[in-house]
């Protein structure tokens, strides 16, 4: 029951945030919308016992990444580049068609009542997916240790790359 | 009541579609980036839900990795945007069509 | 003795190699003497080697030098038999005399040593040709004489006409070689070898008449190219661009007789193919008459002799075609004597006249250069067939043998007789125009007798032209007995038996000669160039003859020009436009496809996004609905 | 031993890389000196080679076991002459490259790598290895044409590369298909030449595989109508490139046809005789006719290659002793004479910076030694008996008549055309009086240039008069090819196409 209410609440805020991202003229508002969505999703993670991931979501995403976003927005200036003339006049038309197809598809699926989206689902054992740090760490440092190392390397490289890009003093064309 | 995985999936799908449409409609590179983050989050949500439905912790591990990669991607991506902006003084994606065939 | 046969070829070859590298240092007279020494020693050596044959009773031998192309049974081997011996003696003997003559003739030329290099190379090649023990090696010599001929015709290469003539000679010869090569393919396919030894012995078992005829006709093509027979004779008159000793040696005495030699050598094959033989004889007869008429009207002293050579070669073909191989070879020999003599005499005249070759600008040279005049006179009588000079005996034997065949050959006999008459006429005309009458040369030329190094060969050749015929008279068939071992597989055609028949036939041919010669003498031995009126009386026939029936123009218009046009079409129409066009077309088609695909790459990320999402949707729909 | 033969040029290339780029005066002499080493080794191999059928000096090292790929080398009478020719031409080609002034070091390195690739192709007995070398050759050649070539070098290099790569892509498909059918029939994978020959193929698939190999080699040869890359490549390539292209690279095609098509697909080869023979003969006549009117000396020589290589293909598919021996030895002969002709054209190009025939005239007066060499090579190319070209041509023609009479007769017409195009070109370039000012002051060949040509001239003469030196080593292998074909198919070489027949026929003399 609690999860049901939580789900509805958080789903609404997440969707509202997402729509804000897309429609806001000012990128700062978009960023705020995204922030809302990220928080809502983090709550939904907790609702599904993914504690560690939820924490990371808040710290890394809502914390670090969003700060970075805002920083860049401020750096570039709150530029409303969307106001300039549209170079792809047919873009909205095509996107509309795609959106229509998606809606039709979704409606079709919903109306057919087939909500069983995880067909192999079994009896849920909450303990099995209790995402504590310990529980996550175990597969992470056994089965996935190679991937873990690789991502570590990736992070280092991307940090170095970002610095290199920032230091880049190319001639202005 | 336990909300069944289907609802989470539906929410994720909605988020994903909104992100995708935003990606296609907006011309501000930063906003497009945010839309990508939206889509990533939607996918993360499906992984968590599916993991729970299947009693598999690896769903969460995958999300962890995606978070890391997303962070790295944002760092580099924003650095590129800044670099481009310094040259071109614009954040509009349509201005960047040098790779036209 | 035969173990050292290879020396006959090696001596002139060594001379050529030596002179090629050291000629520049050896200098003018000496290199000529060296070359002559190489040639003469080959002659002496050949004479020693041939002595057993001359005495009779010696068997022919084959000497294997080394393996060449064993897969087709072609090795470097020498066949030493009477026919080869005779040819070697003629080639080296006449060749040596011409070498000596050339020392005087080529005096002062800045490529003096080069000339003798090529001359020696020619000797080696010609000896290879006649000494070869199989067709492949014969072909080796056959082509090498072509090369030497090319080099020597084009000796004065700065004259475009000489260069063109050299090329023409080689190319026309190649057309003949084409036929010869196919003949060799047929021979190999039939016998599995190209060696004479393996071929002639078994010819009548292995070859059917059809195959033998094919081989014979193809060999005729080759022989016609080398021996300048109709229709491939056109290169020989042009070949007169070469220095005169070359004309004497290569284009009169030796190389051009290679075709006759080839047919005589292959007599075993022709024996089985009467049609081929008859064709040979017919071609010979036509050539004899055809060239003789052209010779009638030539003004160039060398051109007269060139066409005369073609005509005489026609006689030889007539002989070998009629089966009178000995007669053909006999005429080959006597012709070598008197035609070399005539050419050298002509060379002496040209030398004296400061390179003037037009007979209309000569005349009255008898007093200025008596030795040349008399020796040339002997040659003229010999070729005209006045007894007892050499030409009489050989020509008479040919005509007699042809007559004896009867049937179709009777017609050929008449052609031969007419040719004899014409021959006598134009030779008389030549001698009279050059040596008698009033001088017509310009004031600044001062004709003089040639130096002794040139006259002595003339005198020797004149002597040979007188007595050479006695080798084979109806009263003493020495040459026939000598050559018999080489023609063991054929029945030789001879003149009809009996003194009476001989007297009648000989009388007829002598009469023809006397009539022709007398008429020529009378017509041209007139003062104030009144013979010009005589020639005008024959117009337009005379003009046609003078222009050699315009055959060169005909070939030019019918073969050369369309050929060149075709080559241009092939090169620039077909190759560049169609084939390479197709290749490049494929390339540009791919490029155009790329251009088409290129428009998809707008560079707008959002465009790609739409396509991307659309594609993803299609897959999703397929997954959802398709189940 | 054979591995060393391949690795020596590679090692030489490595040594060259170490030399500083600015010591330009060192590059060429050092390169020449280093390239003599493989020649010496090849000479030794030639010396110890026994005239016997089968492969000798075989080396087998596993390379990638799961797919049965091996470093598998061997030499027989068909590849031996080609290896020697390759090692012989490379020092000469290098020594002829004094006009290369830019990036000399890279040039030498590419030539040496090219040499390694070419030797590798001739020695490889593993089809995969063969293909690796076959493709590897393209790369240095591409750069040699593309960097040091003439004005349209990039066009020519790209055309050369794409055209040949297209053919070899098809061949790769064929090789893989063959290897797959081997492993499905015998259970273990292999790319070895002998193994793949034993694969049992249905007639249909054998034909397709034959076609895939034949097309690759036909482009390389080049057989009409796949020849148009050749004139372009030759015209643009530097002298050394042309020499090696004509001397060796084209022979990859004829060698491949003889080595692989005949042995791997005997049945299809016998069936394809009329087609291949016709293409060859069309090429002979067509190449010759087109050569007649070419305005550019190099293009002319390039088209003569089309014509001459037609003879080799004709001899190969005549399937007789004479034809096969002639084909192998003509490979060498054409390499020598055409290589020399390209050298000669290169020499005049260095002096006059033009290759147009009409720009010359009367050169014999100014450069008699040059003219002498040129004429000599022309006659070698025409096939004058006593010189090497004749031996191959004559063996091919006489040998082919037994099985392909009509085609051979037409092919013999090529000898007339050969005389026309070469002698006409000679007439226009060398004879007459030099009338153009630029031509009057030309210097004759230097001692260096003469020393480049002299060894070729010597070989031309030696091979023309003593072809036994090579034929003795060639014939056991070519006979083995015929034995194999007779063994595998219903085909019997008609008399007197076999060497044995000839010996029998000769016995009764």
Rg (CA), chain A: 21
Length of chain D: 509
Taking CB atoms and an 8 Å cutoff, what residues of chain C touch D405?
Answer: 185, 189
Q: What are phi and psi of D73, to 5 degrees?
A: -120, 150
| Cβ atoms of residues D12 and D113 within 8 Å | no
In the structure, what pLDDT confidence band is assigned to residue A129 with cuts at 50, 70 and 90? confident
Query: Is D169 in the same domain as D36?
Result: yes
Q: Chunked in runs of 10, what are the mean pLDDT values of chain D (509 residues)?
A: 92 91 86 93 93 89 88 92 94 90 90 94 93 92 91 90 89 92 89 88 91 93 88 91 92 92 91 93 92 91 92 93 92 93 92 88 89 93 90 90 91 89 90 84 88 93 90 89 89 78 46
Q: What are phi and psi of C199, to 5 degrees?
A: -100, -55
Q: Inter-chain contact A72–B30, Cβ cutoff 8 Å?
A: yes
Q: Is D84 within the bounds of a domain? A: yes
In tens, the pLDDT along A105-128 reads: 888 877 776 656 666 666 777 777
Q: Inter-chain contact A27–B30, Cβ cutoff 8 Å?
A: yes
Q: List, as ranges, residues 558-577 from C with C-beta within 8 Å of D.
A: 564, 566-568, 570-572, 574-575
Instruction: Find chains touching chain A: ≥3 CB pairs under 8 Å.
Output: B, C
| Predicted local distance difference test score (pLDDT) of residue C99 | 93
Calculate how close chain A gets to B47, using CA atoms only, in Å: 10
| Predicted local distance difference test score (pLDDT) of residue D507 | 42
Closest CA to A100 of B32, C608, B21, B8: B21
d(CA C383, CA C389): 8
Q: Is D506 within the bounds of a domain? A: no
- D128 CB-near residues (< 8 Å, 6+ apart): D67, D69, D175, D179, D191
Give yes or no for A99 touching C (CB within 8 A): no
Pick the CATH number of A1-80 from 3.30.365.10, 1.20.120.1200, 1.20.1420.20, 2.40.50.1070: 1.20.120.1200
Query: Is D290 in the same domain as D245?
Result: no
Probe site for chain C from D299, D370, D506 (most C CB atoms < 10 A): D506
Q: Is A79's pLDDT higher than 80?
A: no
Taking CB atoms and an 8 Å cutoff, what residues of chain C touch A119?
Answer: none
Closest CA to D252 of D321, D350, D190, D335: D335
Query: Is C482 in the same domain as C568?
Result: no
Probe site for chain A from C621, C622, C623, C626 (most A CB atoms < 10 A): C621
> Which tokens in the block code for residue D51?
């005239």
Q: Is C57's pLDDT higher than 90?
A: no
Distance separating the N- and C-terminal Cα atoms of chain D: 44
Q: Is B20 within the bounds of a domain? A: yes
Q: Inter-chain contact C606–B93, Cβ cutoff 8 Å?
A: yes
Q: Is D498 within the bounds of a domain? A: no
Task: Compute CA distances D410 → C169, D222, D287, whole Å.
Answer: 22, 19, 13
Query: Is C534 in the same domain as C434?
Result: yes
How confident is the prediction for chain C on average, in pLDDT? 88
| Cβ atoms of residues D346 and D239 within 8 Å | yes
Task: Compute CA distances C167 → C163, C170, D252, D352, D411, whole Å.
Answer: 6, 5, 35, 26, 22
Closest chain C residue to the Cα of A92, Cα to Cα:
C610
Provide the β-strand partners of residue D126: D192
| Cβ atoms of residues D199 and D241 within 8 Å | no
Query: Is D326 in the same domain as D346?
Result: yes
Taking CB atoms and an 8 Å cutoff, what residues of chain A touch C606?
Answer: 88, 91
Closest CA to A159 of A80, A68, A66: A68
Q: Inter-chain contact B78–A68, Cβ cutoff 8 Å?
A: yes
pTM of the model: 0.84
Provide the β-strand partners of residue C76: C66
Q: Is C260's pLDDT higher than 50?
A: yes
| Predicted local distance difference test score (pLDDT) of residue D506 | 44
Q: Is A83's pLDDT higher than 70?
A: no
DSSP H or E run through D459: helix D447-465
Query: Is D224 in the same domain as D306?
Result: no
Calculate how close chain A gets to C598, using CA atoms only, in Å: 18
In the structure, what pLDDT confidence band is assigned to residue A173 with cuts at 50, 70 and 90? very low
Query: Is C321 in the same domain as C371?
Result: yes
Give yes or no for C627 touching A (CB within 8 A): no
Query: Is D253 in the same domain as D307?
Result: no
* Helical segments of D293-320, H only: 297-318
Probe site for chain D from C61, C72, C114, C569 (most D CB atoms < 10 A): C72
Query: Is D297 in the same domain as D250?
Result: no
Give A90: exposed, middle or buried? Use CB within 10 Å, 0-12, 13-18, 19+. exposed
Taking CB atoms and an 8 Å cutoff, what residues of chain B touch C610?
Answer: 24
Return the CATH number at B76. 1.10.287.3510
Calculate how close chain A gets to C621, using CA atoms only, in Å: 8
Taking CB atoms and an 8 Å cutoff, what residues of chain B touch C599?
Answer: 101
Task: Compute CA distances B7 → A4, B4, C182, C594, C623, whole Å.
Answer: 10, 6, 92, 47, 20
For the residues C61-84, what does the mean pLDDT come to? 85
d(CA D270, CA D265): 9
d(CA A165, CA C619): 37
Task: Compute CA distances C219 → A173, C175, C266, D261, whole Å.
Answer: 82, 12, 9, 37
Cα dihedral C131→C133→C135→C141 (10° resolution): -30
Q: Is C276 within the bounds of a domain? A: no
Q: Is D182 within the bounds of a domain? A: yes
Q: Inter-chain contact D292–C177, Cβ cutoff 8 Å?
A: no
Return the beta strands (E) in D37-179 as ranges. Answer: 56-64, 69-75
Query: Is D249 in the same domain as D291?
Result: no
d(CA B14, CA C4): 108
Closest chain B residue to the Cα of C599, Cα to Cα:
B101
Calculate how close chain C gets to B76, using CA atoms only, in Å: 18
Query: In the listed set D241, D264, D287, which residue is the last one of a domain according to the structure?
Result: D264
Domain with B22, as residue range(s), is 5-89
Query: Is C314 in the same domain as C352?
Result: yes
CA D24 to mean position of chain CA atoms: 31
Taking CB atoms and an 8 Å cutoff, what residues of chain B touch C613?
Answer: 20, 24
Taking CB atoms and an 8 Å cutoff, what residues of chain A touch B61?
Answer: 136, 139-140, 144
Taking CB atoms and an 8 Å cutoff, what residues of chain A touch B3?
Answer: 3-4, 7, 47
A114-123, C329-338, C471-480: range with lowest mean pLDDT: A114-123
Query: Is C444 in the same domain as C559?
Result: no
Task: Compute CA distances A125 → A1, A41, A122, B92, whole Å.
Answer: 18, 22, 9, 49
- C30 CB-near residues (< 8 Å, 6+ apart): none
Cis before C540? omega within 30: yes
Query: In the listed set C528, C546, C564, which residue is the last one of a domain according to the structure?
Result: C546
| Predicted local distance difference test score (pLDDT) of residue D307 | 92
Instruction: Find chains touching chain C: ≥3 CB pairs under 8 Å.
Output: A, B, D
Closest chain C residue to the Cα of D424, Cα to Cα:
C167
Please calculate the CA angle A9-A15-A17 and round it to the nearest 5 degrees: 100
Closest chain B residue to the Cα of C606, Cα to Cα:
B24
Closest chain D residue to the Cα of C165, Cα to Cα:
D427
Give yes or no for A19 touching B (CB within 8 A): yes
Q: Chunked in runs of 10, what are the mean pLDDT values of chain B (101 residues)?
A: 77 92 87 91 92 87 91 89 81 77 69
Q: List, as ranges, residues 107-126 from A with C-beta within 8 Å of C.
A: 109
What count of CB pairs under 8 Å joins C to D? 180
Q: Is D93 within the bounds of a domain? A: yes
Q: Inter-chain contact A91–C620, Cβ cutoff 8 Å?
A: no
Domain with D124, as residue range(s), is 1-264
Length of chain A: 173
Task: Look at chain D and report how many structural domains it folds into.
Answer: 2
ipTM exceeding 0.90, yes/no? no
- D279 CB-near residues (< 8 Å, 6+ apart): D218, D223, D224, D310, D313
Query: Is D235 in the same domain as D306?
Result: no
Return the beta strands (E) in C122-162 as ranges. Answer: none
For the residues C326-334, what does the mean pLDDT come to? 92
Task: Look at chain C and report how many structural domains it folds into.
Answer: 2
In tens, the pLDDT along C593-622 reads: 988 888 888 888 888 888 899 999 999 888
d(CA B77, CA B33): 8
| Cβ atoms of residues C365 and C403 within 8 Å | no
Q: Inter-chain contact C601–B27, Cβ cutoff 8 Å?
A: no
| Predicted local distance difference test score (pLDDT) of residue B44 | 94
C600, C602, C609 member nearest B97 (Cβ): C602
Task: Look at chain B and report how many structural domains it folds into.
Answer: 1
Q: Is A172's pLDDT higher than 70?
A: no
| Predicted local distance difference test score (pLDDT) of residue D502 | 56
In tens, the pLDDT along C153-207 reads: 999 988 889 999 999 999 999 999 999 999 998 998 888 888 888 888 888 888 8
Query: Is D91 in the same domain as D175?
Result: yes
Give yes or no for C614 touching B (CB within 8 A): no
Q: Which residue has the higher pLDDT, C499 or C146?
A: C146
Q: Is C362's pLDDT higher than 70?
A: yes
Taking CB atoms and an 8 Å cutoff, what residues of chain A touch B32?
Answer: none
B27, B30, B44 member nearest A73 (Cβ): B30
Closest chain D residue to the Cα of C195, Cα to Cα:
D506
Query: Is C512 in the same domain as C600?
Result: no
Taking CB atoms and an 8 Å cutoff, what residues of chain C touch B96?
Answer: 603, 605
- D507 CB-near residues (< 8 Å, 6+ apart): none
Query: In the listed set C526, C546, C566, which residue is the last one of a domain according to the structure?
Result: C546
A87, A98, A105 member nearest C614 (Cβ): A98
Closest CA to A20 of A7, A38, A4: A38
Q: What are phi and psi of D75, to 5 degrees?
A: -135, 140
Probe site for chain C from D505, D507, D508 (most C CB atoms < 10 A): D505
Q: Inter-chain contact B48–A116, Cβ cutoff 8 Å?
A: no
d(CA D130, CA D119): 10
Domain with C578, as residue range(s), is 553-625
Domain boundaries, chain A: 1-80, 132-168
């Amino acid at each position: 029951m609690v999860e049901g209410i939580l789900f509805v609440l958080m789903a609404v805020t997440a969707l509202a945030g997402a729509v804000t991202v897309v429609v806001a003229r000012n990128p700062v508002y978009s960023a705020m919308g995204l922030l809302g969505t990220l928080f809502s999703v983090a709550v939904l993670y907790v609702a599904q016992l993914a504690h560690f991931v939820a924490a990371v979501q808040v710290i890394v995403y809502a914390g670090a990444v969003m700060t970075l976003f805002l920083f860049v927005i401020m750096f570039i200036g709150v530029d409303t580049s969307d106001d300039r003339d549209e170079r792809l006049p047919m873009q909205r038309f095509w996107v509309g068609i795609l959106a229509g197809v998606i809606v039709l598809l979704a409606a079709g699926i919903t109306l057919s009542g087939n909500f069983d989206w995880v067909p192999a689902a079994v009896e849920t054992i909450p303990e099995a997916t209790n995402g504590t740090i310990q529980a996550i760490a175990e597969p992470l440092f056994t089965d996935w240790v190679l991937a873990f190392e690789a991502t570590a390397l990736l992070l280092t490289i991307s940090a170095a790359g970002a610095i290199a890009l920032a230091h880049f003093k190319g001639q202005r064309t | 009541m336990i909300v069944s995985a289907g609802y989470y999936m539906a929410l994720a799908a909605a988020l994903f579609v909104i992100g995708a449409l935003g990606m296609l409609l907006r011309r501000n590179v930063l906003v497009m980036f945010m839309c990508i983050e939206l889509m990533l989050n939607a996918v993360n949500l499906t992984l968590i839900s599916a993991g729970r439905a299947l009693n598999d912790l690896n769903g969460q591990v995958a999300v962890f990795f995606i978070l890391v990669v997303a962070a790295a991607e944002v760092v580099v991506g924003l650095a590129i945007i800044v670099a481009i902006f310094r040259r071109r003084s614009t954040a509009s994606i349509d201005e960047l069509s040098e790779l036209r065939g | 003795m035969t173990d050292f046969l290879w020396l006959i070829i090696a001596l002139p070859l060594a001379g050529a190699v030596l002179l090629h590298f050291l000629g520049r240092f050896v200098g003018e007279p000496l290199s000529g003497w060296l070359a002559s020494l190489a040639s003469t020693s080959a002659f002496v050596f050949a004479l020693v080697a041939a002595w057993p044959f001359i005495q009779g009773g010696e068997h022919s031998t084959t000497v294997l030098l080394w393996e060449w192309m064993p897969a087709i049974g072609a090795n470097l081997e020498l066949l030493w038999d009477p026919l080869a011996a005779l040819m070697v003696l003629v080639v080296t003997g006449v060749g040596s005399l011409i070498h000596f003559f050339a020392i005087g003739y080529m005096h002062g030329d800045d490529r003096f040593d080069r000339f003798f290099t090529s001359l020696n190379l020619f000797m080696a090649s010609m000896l290879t040709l006649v000494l070869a023990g199989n067709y492949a090696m014969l072909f080796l010599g056959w082509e090498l004489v072509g090369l030497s001929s090319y080099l020597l015709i084009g000796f004065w290469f700065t004259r475009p006409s000489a260069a063109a003539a050299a090329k023409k000679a080689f190319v026309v010869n190649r057309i003949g070689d084409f036929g010869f090569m196919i003949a060799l393919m047929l021979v190999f396919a039939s016998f599995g070898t190209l060696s004479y030894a393996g071929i002639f012995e078994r010819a009548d078992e292995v070859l059917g008449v059809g195959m033998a005829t094919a081989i014979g006709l193809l060999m005729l093509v080759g022989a016609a190219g080398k021996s300048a027979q109709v229709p491939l004779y056109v290169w020989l008159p042009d070949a007169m661009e070469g220095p005169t000793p070359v004309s004497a040696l290569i284009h009169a005495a030796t190389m051009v007789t290679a075709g006759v030699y080839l047919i005589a050598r292959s007599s075993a094959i022709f024996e089985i193919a009467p049609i081929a033989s008859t064709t040979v004889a017919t071609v010979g007869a036509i050539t004899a008459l055809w060239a003789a008429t052209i010779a009638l009207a030539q003004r160039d002293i060398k051109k007269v002799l060139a066409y005369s050579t073609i005509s005489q070669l026609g006689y030889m073909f007539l002989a070998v075609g009629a089966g009178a191989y000995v007669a053909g070879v006999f005429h080959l020999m006597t012709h070598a004597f008197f035609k070399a003599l005539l050419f050298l005499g002509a060379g002496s005249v040209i030398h004296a006249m400061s390179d003037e070759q037009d007979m209309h600008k000569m005349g009255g040279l008898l007093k200025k250069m008596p030795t040349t005049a008399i020796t040339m006179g002997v040659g003229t009588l010999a070729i005209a067939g006045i007894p007892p000079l050499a030409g009489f005996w050989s020509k008479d034997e040919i005509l007699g043998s042809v007559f004896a065949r009867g049937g179709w050959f009777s017609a050929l006999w008449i052609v031969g007789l007419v040719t004899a008459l014409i021959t006598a006429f134009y030779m008389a005309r030549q001698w009279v125009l050059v040596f008698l009458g009033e001088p017509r040369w310009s004031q600044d030329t001062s004709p003089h007798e040639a130096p002794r190094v040139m006259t002595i060969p003339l005198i020797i050749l004149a002597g040979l032209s007188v007595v050479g015929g006695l080798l084979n008279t109806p009263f003493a068939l020495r040459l026939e007995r000598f050559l018999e071992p080489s023609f063991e597989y054929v029945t030789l055609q001879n003149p009809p038996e009996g003194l009476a028949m001989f007297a009648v036939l000989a009388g007829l041919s002598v009469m023809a000669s006397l009539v022709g010669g007398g008429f020529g003498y009378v017509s041209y031995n007139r003062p104030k160039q009144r013979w010009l009126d005589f020639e005008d009386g024959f117009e337009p026939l005379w003009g046609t003859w003078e222009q050699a029936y315009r055959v060169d123009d005909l070939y030019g218009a019918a073969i050369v020009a369309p050929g060149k046009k075709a080559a241009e079409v092939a090169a620039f129409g077909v190759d560049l436009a169609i084939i390479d066009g197709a290749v490049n077309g494929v390339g540009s088609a791919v490029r155009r496809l790329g251009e088409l695909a290129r428009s998809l790459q707008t560079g707008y990320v959002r465009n790609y996004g739409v396509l991307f999402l659309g594609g993803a949707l299609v897959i999703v729909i397929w997954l959802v609905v398709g189940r | 031993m054979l591995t060393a033969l391949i690795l020596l040029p590679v090692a030489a290339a490595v040594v060259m890389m170490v030399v500083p780029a600015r010591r330009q005066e060192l590059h060429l002499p050092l390169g020449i000196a280093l390239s003599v080493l493989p020649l010496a080794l090849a000479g030794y191999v030639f010396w110890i080679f026994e005239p016997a059928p089968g492969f000798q000096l075989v080396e087998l090292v596993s390379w990638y076991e799961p797919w049965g790929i091996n470093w598998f080398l061997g030499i027989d009478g068909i590849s031996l002459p080609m290896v020697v020719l390759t090692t012989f031409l490379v020092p000469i080609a290098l020594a002829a490259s004094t006009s290369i002034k830019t990036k000399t070091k890279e040039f030498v390195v590419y030539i040496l790598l090219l040499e390694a690739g070419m030797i590798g192709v001739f020695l490889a007995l593993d089809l995969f290895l063969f293909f690796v070398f076959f493709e590897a050759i393209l790369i240095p050649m591409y750069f040699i044409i593309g960097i040091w070539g003439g004005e349209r070098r990039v066009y020519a290099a790209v055309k050369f590369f794409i055209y040949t790569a297209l053919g070899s892509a098809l061949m790769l498909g064929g090789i893989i298909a063959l290897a797959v059918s081997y492993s499905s029939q015998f259970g273990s994978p292999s790319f070895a030449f002998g193994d793949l020959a034993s694969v049992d193929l249905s007639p249909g698939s054998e034909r397709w595989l034959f076609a895939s190999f034949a097309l690759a080699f036909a482009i390389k040869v080049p057989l009409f109508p796949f020849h148009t890359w050749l004139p372009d490549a030759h015209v643009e390539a530097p002298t050394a490139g042309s020499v090696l292209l004509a001397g060796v690279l084209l022979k990859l095609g004829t060698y491949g046809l003889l080595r692989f098509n005949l042995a791997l697909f005997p049945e299809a080869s016998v069936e394809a005789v009329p087609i291949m023979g016709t293409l060859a003969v069309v090429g002979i006549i067509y190449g010759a006719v087109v050569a007649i009117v070419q305005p550019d000396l190099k293009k002319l020589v390039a088209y003569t290659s089309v014509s001459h290589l037609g003879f080799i293909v004709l001899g190969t598919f005549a399937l007789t002793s004479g034809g096969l021996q002639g084909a192998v030895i003509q490979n060498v002969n054409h390499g020598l004479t055409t290589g020399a002709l390209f050298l000669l054209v290169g020499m005049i190009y260095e002096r006059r910076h033009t290759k147009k025939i009409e720009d010359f005239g009367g050169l014999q007066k100014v450069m008699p030694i040059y003219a002498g060499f040129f004429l000599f090579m022309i006659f070698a190319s025409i096939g004058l008996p006593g010189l090497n070209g004749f031996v191959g041509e004559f063996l091919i023609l006489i040998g082919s008549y037994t099985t392909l009479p009509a085609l051979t007769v037409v092919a013999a017409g090529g000898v007339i055309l050969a005389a026309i195009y070469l002698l006409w070109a000679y007439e226009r370039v060398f004879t007459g009086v030099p009338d153009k000012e630029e031509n009057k002051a030309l210097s004759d060949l230097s001692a260096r240039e003469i020393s480049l040509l002299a060894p070729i001239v010597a070989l031309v003469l030696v091979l023309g008069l003593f072809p036994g030196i090579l034929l003795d080593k060639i014939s056991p292998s070519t006979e083995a090819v015929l034995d194999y074909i007779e063994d595998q198919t219903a085909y019997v070489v008609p008399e007197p196409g076999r060497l044995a027949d000839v010996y029998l026929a000769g016995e009764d003399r």
